[in-house]
Amino acid sequence: MNQTHDNVPAESADAMLVERRKVARHRTLKAGSIRFNRAGAIDCRVRNMSPAGALLEVAGQLGIPDEFALVIEADHFRQNCQVVWRTTSRLGVAFSG
């Protein structure tokens, strides 16, 4: 069983989180790329995704702007994104226009 920092089982901690998304996301693990400024790109992993947004994992936040294009080459997917929240290694993004 996974434990959180407060010695609360991870399953219980997850149950305490309030779901605020308008559309449910589906778990995934895909290689992606954060692209900006025509030449800039940062590798990422797409951890979950819905038609409205995604959770991205990155090595670090340095240089990642608030708006960029998410590209998943394997799926021929490209979508403009707006960062909704950030942690040290994760980004929650909403898909825009």
> Could you tell me the domains of the chain?
22-96 (2.40.10.220)
pLDDT of 37: 87
pLDDT of 14: 44
pLDDT of 2: 42
Let me know if 47 is exposed, middle or buried by CB neighbors in 10 A (0-12, 13-18, 19+): middle
pLDDT of 18: 44
Which ranges of the chain have pLDDT less than 70? 1-25
pLDDT of 22: 60
Which pTM value belongs to this model?
A: 0.73
What is the gyration radius of the CA atoms in the chain, in angstroms? 15
